[in-house]
Amino acid sequence: MSEQQLYDVLIVGGGPAGMTAGLYAGRANLKVAMIERGMPGGQASTTHLIENFPGVESIDGPTLSMIMHKQAGDFGCEMITAEVEKIENLEGKIKKVITSRGEYLTKTIILTPGAEPKKLGTPGEDELRGRGVSYCATCDGAFFRGKELVVIGGGDSAVEEGIYLTRHASKVTIIHRRDQLRAQKILQDRAFANEKVSFIWDTVVETIAGENKVEKVLLKNTKTGETSEYPCDGAFIYVGMKPNTDFLAGLPILDEAGYIPTNAKMQTKIPGVFAAGDVRDTVLRQVVTATGDGAIAAFYAGHYVELWTEDQE
Ligand code: NAP
């Protein structure tokens, strides 16, 4: 690709939002490329089972991601594998995306970098990562056949992935800092009905400990202050997400938490710059909402490109 090419739309991030934006922009005959640093699919590609994407009763995340990727490519979305390092001239007419593999010029940008798991921040977490500490049940669950695991967190991810881990583990204990789960009721009901799943309530993990691999977690009851040890072979951490927006640091489109606020047209504060999916300041972060966002962003990016062209004439 020549660096001088001018894209109509550059999409930063290859999760469901980005791939849908690519599909819609491609179908609208826009010159579009999607830049993704790793495997396409984002968080969806690490989800073992997606059963709330309407029309698809049940599908594993990697398969759904591969289909979306192929579909966007088939309609003309160019795929670039590179890490986006920064964006220059964001407020200008021609925006410049600097990546690990060169620079790209574009009339509009759709930001879909998604979000990644937050760290717990306890001693032992980094040291034992990959040796029992994990953030991805789909990736690492199979290493724990017949073992006892703890899952830390009380949201949809903790409960859903905790249930998934019972396929491999002999016992899964979900440790939650309150006495009520944040997860959707349907997931809660499934977890309560699963005899391999148990709960420790009102408790935080203060340390993940072990010689060369996870052997136990040190706990503190948030109500009584009592401390205890709980033996386990692995600790899966699901304490929320953080937006992947480090490469946008200092740009005036981020909120205090690093998410990107948009209006209903997925427009950010800056003309020609759109955001879609989990990186948005939004309440629901699902494949179905990300794809909807991506479609809207591509639609309005197309409008912007039409005006941009007219402007030049
Ligand atoms: P989340 O909804 O933000 O939940 C994070 C959980 O971790 C909460 O229960 C929180 O406790 C707990 N937590 C946070 N910081 C902690 C700390 N330092 N120590 C101990 N516990 C801590 O995150 P998520 O479950 O990863 O979900 C992220 C988004 O993806 C959500 O919008 C979710 O709905 C969506 N999602 C949906 C599905 C699905 O629809 N099937 C599946 C997965 C994820 P508190 O409850 O006390 O705050």
Span 11-59, pLDDT tens digits = 999 999 999 999 999 999 999 999 999 999 998 888 878 888 999 999 9
Phi then psi dihedrals of residue 266, to 5 deg: 65, 20
Q: How far apart are the C-alpha atoms of 173 and 151, rounded to whole Å?
A: 6
Q: Percent of the chain beyond pLDDT 90?
A: 88
Catalytic residue, candidates 8, 77, 140, 278: 140
Please tell me the predicted confidence (pLDDT) of residue 229.
Answer: 98
Instruction: Please compute the mean of the pLDDT values over residues 137-165 and round it to a whole number.
Output: 94
Please tell me the predicted confidence (pLDDT) of residue 311.
Answer: 62
Kindly state if the Cβ of 177 falls inside 6 Å of ligand 1: yes
> Where in the chain do CATH 3.50.50.60 domains reside?
6-116+241-312, 119-237
Q: How far apart are the C-alpha atoms of 63 and 222, rounded to whole Å?
A: 41
Reported pTM: 0.82
Q: What is the DSSP letter of 196?
A: T
Could you tell me the distance, in angstroms and rounded to a whole number, from the CA of residue 278 to the centre of ligand 1? 13
Kindly state if the Cβ of 125 falls inside 6 Å of ligand 1: no
The verdict on whether 136 is a catalytic residue reads: yes
The verdict on whether 77 is a catalytic residue reads: no
Kindly state if the Cβ of 96 falls inside 6 Å of ligand 1: no
Kindly state if the Cβ of 233 falls inside 6 Å of ligand 1: no
CATH number of 6-116+241-312: 3.50.50.60
Kindly state if the Cβ of 219 falls inside 6 Å of ligand 1: no
Could you tell me the distance, in angstroms and rounded to a whole number, from the CA of residue 271 to the centre of ligand 1? 33
The C-alpha torsion from 296 through 68 and 281 to 185, rounded to 10°, is 120
The residue nearest atom 37 of ligand 1, judged by CA position, is: 156
Catalytic residue, candidates 8, 74, 77, 136: 136
Q: How far apart are the C-alpha atoms of 180 and 18, rounded to whole Å?
A: 34
Kindly state if the Cβ of 27 falls inside 6 Å of ligand 1: no
Please tell me the predicted confidence (pLDDT) of residue 2.
Answer: 46
Please tell me the predicted confidence (pLDDT) of residue 310.
Answer: 61
CATH classification (class only), 119-237: alpha beta
CA distances from residue 189 to 151, 182, 183, 197, 233 in whole angstroms, order as listed: 17, 12, 10, 11, 26
Please tell me the predicted confidence (pLDDT) of residue 252.
Answer: 95
The verdict on whether 179 is a catalytic residue reads: no
Could you tell me the distance, in angstroms and rounded to a whole number, from the CA of residue 241 to the centre of ligand 1? 7
**Looking at ligand 1, which atom is closest to the CA of residue 285?**
32
